[in-house]
Amino acid sequence: MTGNYIQCASGYQKDNIDETDIAKAIADIQLMDDEHGAFWVSVITDDENVIEVNKDLTLSLILEGQETKHRAKDWKEFSELYGLLLHEKFDDIAARVK
C-alpha cells in the first residue's frame, strides 16, 4: 500500500498530494504565527515516512522507522527534501540530512 497526505498545525489536511500542495503549504507557513507554523507530509509504504517542518526550518524526519532531526538552510532545500519524500527516495533524504 502506498499513499500520502499533508497535515498542517492550523488544521488543514489533504490526502493524495503532489508538489503543488507542498508549494502552497510552504507559502502559507511563512505567513503563519509560530503556534500554527508547522506542517508534515507522510508517505506510507511498508512504514510511515514523515517529514515535519516548523516555521524556523527545523525538521523532524521519520524514514523507514528511523527518526532524525535536521535544520534546512532555506526553503529551497526543504522543498527538495519533500520532493524526494513524495518520490519515495528515502535513502537520498537520509544521505542529505546526515
Q: SS in 3 state form for the chain? A: CCEEEEEECCCCEEECCCHHHHHHHHHHHCCCCCCCCEEEEEEECCCEEEEEEECCCEEEEEECCEEEEEECCCHHHHHHHHHHHHCCCHHHHHHHCC
Tens digits of residue pLDDT in 10-50: 788 999 999 899 888 888 888 887 766 889 999 999 889 99
State yes or no: pLDDT of 57 exceeds 80. yes
Per-residue pLDDT at 2 exceeds 80: no
Dist CA 68 CA 29 (whole Å): 22
pLDDT recorded at residue 15: 94
Sheet holding 48-54, edge to edge: 13-15, 3-8, 38-44, 48-54, 58-63, 66-71
pLDDT confidence of residue 36: 67
Residues 72-84: pLDDT tens digits? 999 899 899 999 9
